[in-house]
Structure 1
Amino acid sequence: MLSSRLISANGIEIFVTEQGSGPLVLLCHGWPELSHSWRHQLPAIAAAGFHVVAPDMRGFGRTSAPESVESYSIFDLVGDMVALVAELGETKAIIVGHDWGAPVAWHAALFRPDIFTAVGGLSVAPPWRGHERPMETLAKSGITNFYWQYFQKPGVAEAEFERDVDYTMRAISFGVDDSLYLREGFGFLGNPAIERKLPDWIGPADHAHVVETYRRTGFRGGLNWYRNIDRNWDLTAPWHGAQIHQPAIFIAGAKDSVVTSILGGKRVTEMHRVLPNLKRKLIIEGAGHWIQQERRDEVNAALIEFLKDVSG
């Protein structure tokens, strides 16, 4: 039976939704999402014989949202998952992430292979650490309108997104694949005169739940993850060139601009550099970025096959 609770871990309160019993599986959501985005995976993975736990990540939903930008580094985010495993009474877990949750999962496997025995990433390929800070790379390339750059100054993106949360969530879920670069005269959401209809994979009740939550919390917590991108580059210097040796799976949509962009496409093509034990790379034709919601049956089947394989 699906249940939820607050768990004290790593100095914050983490809200989790969980189901089932057996080997522990953590599902890490991305931006701008909630643990609710795993609603189709929780019962399926639980029925396959696992204790599956989906937290609202740091800064999101009913989980604590520390004030300082510095509280959202990759060390803090992975630390939350390490502490959560312990508070759940376990010493081992399989970790899977989507969007921003994918870098958390990849780094959790990289930092703590003693805890995270297998890893999965949806939509965002495993990173390899470049030779300079990401924001500096963008600037040197002459790029000034990438969405990472727009998110850097506290308060700017928050003001745009919180003006009309219902429209914001419609625009992001329906049109994010066209919005990685800002158009002149518009913010991240593009032209507000364009009608944004819900895609058929989001029901009105699910949309309303997300909108109500973000109206209450605002967007600052999740945006602070982006404000640590360069800092994360600094912090991960000891892992430059390191590989993730645990069994791994990668799933993405063929129409997802995160994996079809120049940088993203290169990372997908060359992910064996980081993942020498990659068990499966599944690119789902016709699917976009919100893959576990858009194509739940295919994602569930692939994840369950992988989980059963790596858990023996």
Structure 2
Amino acid sequence: MTSTVEHSFVEVNGVRLHIAEQGRGPLVLLLHGFPECWYSWRHQFGPLSAAGYRVVAPDQRGYARSEQPADIAAYSMLHLTGDVIGLIRALGEEQAVVVGHDWGAPVAWTTAQFRPDVVRGVAGLSVPPRPRGPVPPLAALREQLGEGFYQIYFQEPGVADAELAQDPATAFRRMLAGGSGDSPMTDPPQAWVIPEGAKLLDAMPEPERLPGWLTEDDIAVYTREYAGHGARAFTGGLNWYRNIDRNWELTAAFEGRSIDVPALFMAGERDLVRAFPGVGELLEALERTMPNLRQVPELPGCGHWTQQERPEEVNAALLDFLAELPPVRK
């Protein structure tokens, strides 16, 4: 087993991805969300690798040290799931357990749905799988939450990009603290909606102090990891949101298909995602969507940043889940 996290780059589907890796054994891929990178899994590398797993956390396409394709259309769910399959192959493996948080969760769920021959187990934190609905998602979100809902606000290229890149450290501090279980925004959880005439971060004020799980050193790491893209530091991640309706179009052939591999779902009691339209119904339907589901009880007081806020509970649940999976196919 390697004793420290090692960093390298791999070419996957024509995109250069940065990966962080530790340990030897069956492959476990950890997929981050927005606005994060490999570092969001810093508390998982040691325990999972010590238990005999090869743990790899990529910066997904467009994020941090990974390459950022210029074309918005290059960030569709087909590209993102293709990167996961390509990465597994590039690492010399035939199968992997795929774990995702925030945007990484839909990528993990969809990869398991598309390629159950490659994904031998899937875990999602915060965001449950959302079956394809009858209409494009953005129209429904506009109707329910208005133009100020952050996913709608993100749609105009260049706007949120510039606001976040103006002072990345402040952006990370406000977003990470604002979504924490310690935040007024999460007691009870409420959707991130920008008031008319305001800017993106006006809805997430500067915290008086950081939550106990987050330090200024952590903020500095995130800021440094994103520095290579300059004024486009957040553009790659924002482009994922700009493909939401396109993903609905591209995945029509998979409508109604369940996720049949062994699955685990975990979420915080105070996660902002709970305030999204329809999430309550999605949580009630998890066992129909994933018939081979293991659901961990919600994490009391935990906000959106699940594996960073509650690393011990997340690690314990992941290790139990991994231990129950069938052996790796030879």
- Could you state the TM-score of these two structures normalised by the residue count of structure 2? 0.91
- Residue 58 of structure 1 is matched in structure 2 by 61
Deviates more, 1:65-74 or 1:302-311: 302-311
**2:20 paired with 1:5:** no
Computed over aligned residues only, the root mean square deviation of the Cα atoms, in angstroms, reads: 1.6
**2:87 paired with 1:84:** yes
Q: CA deviation at 1:138?
A: 2.5
Paired residues of 2:112 and 2:119 also in contact (CA < 8 A): yes
Query: Which of 139, 151, 154 is residue 142 of structure 2 equivalent to?
Result: 139
Distance in 2, Cα, partners of 1:135 & 1:193 = 26
Distance in 2, Cα, partners of 1:204 & 1:236 = 40
- Residue 219 of structure 1 is matched in structure 2 by 234
Q: CA deviation at 1:169?
A: 0.8
**2:205 paired with 1:170:** no
- Could you state the TM-score of these two structures normalised by the residue count of structure 1? 0.96
- Residue 216 of structure 2 is matched in structure 1 by 204
Distance in 2, Cα, partners of 1:141 & 1:29 = 27
Q: CA deviation at 1:111?
A: 0.7
- Residue 161 of structure 1 is matched in structure 2 by 164
- Residue 279 of structure 2 is matched in structure 1 by 264
**How many pairs are equivalent?**
312
- Residue 102 of structure 2 is matched in structure 1 by 99
Task: State the SS of the aligned residue for 2:296.
Answer: strand
Q: CA deviation at 1:213?
A: 2.5
Structure 1 spans left out of the alignment, 5+ residues: none
Task: State the SS of the aligned residue for 2:29.
Answer: strand
**2:301 paired with 1:278:** no
Query: Which of 246, 249, 259 is residue 264 of structure 2 equivalent to?
Result: 249
- Residue 182 of structure 2 is matched in structure 1 by none
Distance in 2, Cα, partners of 1:81 & 1:277 = 22
Paired residues of 2:34 and 2:237 also in contact (CA < 8 A): yes
Paired residues of 2:17 and 2:65 also in contact (CA < 8 A): yes
Structure 2 residue identity aligned to 1:214: Y
Deviates more, 1:186-195 or 1:268-277: 186-195
Identity of aligned residues (%): 44
- Residue 116 of structure 2 is matched in structure 1 by 113
Distance in 2, Cα, partners of 1:8 & 1:142 = 39
Distance in 1, Cα, partners of 2:145 & 2:310 = 36
Distance in 1, Cα, partners of 2:319 & 2:64 = 27
Q: 1:297 to 1:171 in 2, by over 3 A?
A: same
Q: 1:196 to 1:223 in 2, by over 3 A?
A: farther
Query: Which of 213, 221, 228 is residue 243 of structure 2 equivalent to?
Result: 228
**2:201 paired with 1:186:** no
Paired residues of 2:88 and 2:95 also in contact (CA < 8 A): yes
Task: State the SS of the aligned residue for 1:283.
Answer: coil
Distance in 2, Cα, partners of 1:138 & 1:300 = 33
Q: CA deviation at 1:195?
A: 4.2
Distance in 1, Cα, partners of 2:196 & 2:208 = 20
Task: State the SS of the aligned residue for 1:148.
Answer: helix
Query: Which of 262, 281, 295 is residue 310 of structure 2 equivalent to?
Result: 295
Q: 1:304 to 1:231 in 2, by over 3 A?
A: same
1:131-178 Cα offsets, whole Å, 9 max, x none, are 000012223447222111100010000111112211111110011355
